[in-house]
């Protein structure tokens, strides 16, 4: 069920000591594809301007891209998330750290350590930018 992955995301946010008001969650797509399938390129293209505008308004200190669709869309690449994660990228001058999607962690618990390292990097960047 969808709420389980968001519960897990909330646990991660809490574990790295973010307050809820310090975190804004936005999605690549603004509606879920039928059958919860992966988004088609044209669906991503139609929704991307809304995401870009959200980020322009929010001016985040750091972006944590959760999952391959978010990371690949923002970074304009087809490189697998396993190769993108673990380091800092740039999105229009904003530091971006890709990591695995919470739903993927439920299917692949072995990725939790890598995700923990990634979100600690996000926390460190946030503290440097706003500290």
Chunked into runs of 10 residues, the chain (131 residues) has average pLDDT values of 59 89 90 89 94 93 95 96 98 96 92 96 95 71
Give the DSSP letter of residue 86. T
- E strand spans, the chain: 62-66, 89-91, 94-99
Please count the structural domains in the chain: 1
The tokens for 118 are: 């990634």
Q: Which residues of 32-59 are buried (b: 16+ CB within 10 A; e: fewer)?
A: eeeeeeebeeebbeebeeebeeebeeee
Residue 125 domain boundaries: 2-130
Output the domain CATH number for residue 107: 3.40.470.10
- 68-75 and 41-58 helices, crossing angle to 10°: 80
Instruction: Please report the pLDDT score of residue 5 as a whole number.
Output: 53
pTM over 0.85: yes
């Amino acid at each position: 069920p969808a709420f389980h992955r968001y519960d897990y995301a909330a646990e991660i946010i809490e574990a790295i000591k973010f307050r809820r008001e310090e975190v804004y969650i936005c999605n690549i797509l603004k509606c879920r594809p039928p059958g919860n399938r992966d988004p088609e390129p044209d669906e991503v293209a139609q929704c991307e301007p809304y995401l870009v505008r959200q980020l322009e308004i929010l001016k985040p200190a750091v972006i944590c891209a959760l999952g391959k669709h978010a990371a690949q869309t923002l970074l304009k690449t087809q490189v697998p998330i396993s190769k993108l994660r673990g380091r800092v990228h740039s999105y229009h001058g904003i530091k971006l750290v890709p990591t695995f999607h919470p739903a993927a962690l439920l299917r692949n618990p072995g990725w939790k350590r890598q995700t923990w390292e990634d979100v600690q990097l996000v926390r460190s960047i946030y503290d440097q930018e706003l500290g």
